[in-house]
């Protein structure tokens, strides 16, 4: 992992966005440990003067612990000040009840908490890792909240696609530059189902178990039943791996294991 510099900035960003970044006086980055926020954090770490660059991470069971751990490691290695705060959504009934619109509620709660921290620390600008493709995705309900608050999204304003952001992350030697994105764990459960830390971890462990078999799968969970969503036309691979899949998932306490013949697509809800 390495810090960015002005040369790399101008390679990836149009002049007007690059110039705006270079004029930032103090910044608070909303950091998750995902590819996008890792790329913008590492880039700015080498551009912002000492003492002017800070980051904030929300600790929540809705996101894998692995992402939190690597986020802390990245900030430590790059010398970036990191504040870890409890996810405000954890005490919100709309989010914990997995109600429709949950994503927007969660996004607003987090932005308001970051704004509070920004004022407390006397920082001028909040930066996040939203990219251009995110803004084109109607299933990302949290994006609608961004327009109502003063958040600078350099990747989106520069028109950088997810693929281009991965190129940037690769240039910055971020080890997970090409890793598949992990959506909020709430998406694994039916709307209206109360979210629990132990169940979220079990769903995550199920996906990791399948990943070890070489399968990229989104799981959907209801009590002790689990449904596997693979890429379309990959369902035959489940037959090949039937025994290790059944063994692995039953070891996690799942009694009924199913496959969705329509496969995985973004924005689908369960059931």
Residues recognised as catalytic: 184
Q: State the DSSP code for 74.
A: H
Task: Collect all residues with Cβ–Cβ distance below 8 Å to 60 and sequence separation of at least 6.
Answer: 86, 87, 89, 90
Which residue, among 228, 166, 135, has the nearest Cα to 34 in the 3D structure?
166
**Total Cβ atoms within 10 A of residue 224:** 13
Residues shown for the chain: 271
Residue 94 CA, chain-centre distance (Å), reads 20
Backbone angles phi, psi at 263, to 5 degrees: 80, -175
How many beta carbons lie within 10 A of that of residue 179, not counting itself? 14
DSSP characters for 151-212? EE-HHHHTT--HHHHHHHHHHTT-TTTTPPP---GGGGS-TTPPP-HHHHHHHHHHHHHHHT
Nearest to 107 by CA among 119, 99, 96, 95: 95
């Amino acid at each position: 992992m390495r810090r960015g510099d002005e040369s790399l900035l101008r390679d990836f960003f149009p002049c007007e966005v690059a110039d705006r970044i270079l004029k930032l006086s103090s910044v608070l980055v909303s950091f998750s440990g995902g590819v996008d926020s890792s790329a913008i954090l590492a880039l700015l770490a080498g551009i912002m003067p000492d003492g002017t660059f800070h980051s904030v991470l929300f600790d929540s069971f809705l996101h894998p612990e692995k992402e939190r751990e690597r986020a802390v490691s990245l900030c430590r290695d790059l010398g970036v000040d990191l504040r870890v705060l409890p996810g405000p959504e954890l005490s919100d009934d709309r989010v914990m009840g997995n109600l429709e619109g949950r994503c927007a509620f969660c996004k607003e709660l987090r932005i308001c908490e970051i704004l509070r921290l920004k004022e407390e620390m006397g920082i001028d600008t909040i930066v996040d890792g939203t990219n251009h493709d995110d803004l084109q995705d109607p299933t990302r309900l949290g994006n609608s909240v961004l327009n109502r608050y003063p958040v600078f999204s350099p990747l989106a304003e520069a028109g950088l696609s997810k693929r281009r952001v991965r190129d940037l992350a690769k240039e910055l030697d971020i080890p997970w530059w090409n890793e598949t994105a992990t959506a909020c764990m709430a998406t694994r459960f039916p709307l209206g189902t109360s979210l629990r830390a132990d169940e979220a971890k079990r769903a995550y462990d199920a996906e990791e178990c399948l990943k070890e078999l070489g399968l990229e799968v989104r799981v959907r969970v209801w009590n002790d039943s689990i449904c596997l969503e693979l890429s379309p036309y990959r369902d035959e691979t489940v037959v090949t791996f039937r025994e290790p899949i059944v063994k692995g998932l039953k070891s996690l306490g799942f009694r009924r294991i199913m496959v969705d013949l329509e496969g995985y697509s973004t924005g689908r809800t369960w059931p």
